[in-house]
């Protein structure tokens, strides 16, 4: 998977351009992760900010849209192509300003890209 594709919805994901997934439940391959707080796409790096609730001590996670395997508008769900532990181990999302930080976004993209190609992510 090319690195840029981590920032684009897969053609077979069911995502419809212009449809806002805010509020949709987010599921990893092994269980619930949280809810989509918002979608953003600064610098062409489209991503979801996911409110994980109490699961990860009330913090949010930033997930590139290329990690999304399925969007089901009827069920209001987004299914990711990774596990809960992989979401939790991603570079930590601390503040909204990070959605505008190219270096942070690149680190997140690199982490998820390595998962997609089956490499061990760098710490």
**Pick from 81, 72, 98, 1: nearest CA to 33:** 81
Residue written as token pair 């390595």:
114
Taking the model in full, what pTM does it have? 0.88
Residue 123 confidence (pLDDT): 45
Residue 56 confidence (pLDDT): 64
Residue 80 confidence (pLDDT): 97
pLDDT digits (tens, 9 = 90+) for 2-59: 456 899 999 999 999 989 999 999 999 999 999 999 999 889 999 999 999 876 667 8
Residue 5 confidence (pLDDT): 87
Residue 58 confidence (pLDDT): 72
Look up residue 119 and give its DSSP letter: P
pLDDT digits (tens, 9 = 90+) for 58-99: 789 999 999 999 999 999 999 999 999 999 999 999 888 888
Residue written as token pair 């092994």:
30
Q: DSSP letter string over 27-72?
A: EETTEEEEEEEEEE-GGG--EEEEE-GGGGTT-EEEEEGGGEEEEE
Q: What span, in angstroms and rounded, lies between the C-alpha atoms of 104 and 5?
A: 17
Q: Is the pLDDT of residue 122 over 60?
A: no
Residue 77 confidence (pLDDT): 98
Residue 53 confidence (pLDDT): 84
């Amino acid at each position: 998977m090319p690195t840029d594709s981590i920032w684009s919805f897969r053609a077979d994901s069911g995502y419809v351009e212009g449809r806002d997934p805010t509020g949709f439940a987010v599921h990893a391959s092994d269980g619930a992760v949280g809810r989509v707080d918002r979608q953003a796409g600064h610098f062409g790096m489209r991503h979801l900010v996911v409110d994980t609730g109490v699961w990860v001590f009330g913090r949010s996670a930033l997930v590139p849209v290329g990690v999304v395997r399925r969007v089901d508008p009827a069920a209001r769900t987004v299914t990711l192509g990774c596990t809960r532990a992989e979401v939790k181990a991603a570079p930590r999302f601390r503040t909204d300003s990070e959605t505008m930080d190219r270096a942070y976004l690149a680190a997140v993209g690199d982490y998820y890209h390595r998962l997609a190609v089956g490499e061990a992510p760098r710490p």
